[in-house]
Amino acid sequence: MDEIRTSQQAGPRRWLILVVLCLSTLVLVIDNMVLTVAIPPLAEDLGASAQDIQWIIDSYILVFAGLLLTSGSLSDRFGRRRVMVIGLALFGAASVLGTLAGSPGQLILARVLMGVGGALVMPSTLSILITVFD
């Protein structure tokens, strides 16, 4: 099944697991905070309209919320750790794409992919936490 151990089996490694889970969640939270601060220069650099800015901000949250339950099911089926690692890799790759975006449409697409990655990470993180610290 899954390679995550229960609290008796994990022993001192459970604190390392907790640090990894916290950092994974922190990445998802910091992303939205940084975007909020960066909106004025982004809008100017990309020539984004008010509608583009709205989609840049909301595309991540819409996809993230819409896929949260589905990704929890995927996590149960294919393994929590595997789904979390795939989600982090997708989130990181989409972040790089967002950094290289030259138009509002490209940034919106990158934010959608980041939402998919974030949706894969969050349920896995919570599930691993409950499994390791029961």
CB-CB contact of 91 with 114 (8 Å): yes
Q: Average pLDDT in the 43-71 region?
A: 94
Q: What is the pLDDT of residues 68-98, one digit of tens each?
A: 999 999 999 999 999 999 999 999 999 999 9
The per-residue pLDDT for 1 is 43
Each domain of the chain, given as residue ranges in start order, spans 7-132
How far is it, in rounded angstroms, from Cα 55 to Cα 111? 9
Instruction: State the average pLDDT for the chain.
Output: 89
**Residue 103 one-letter amino acid:** S
pTM of the model: 0.86
* 3 state DSSP class of 75: helix
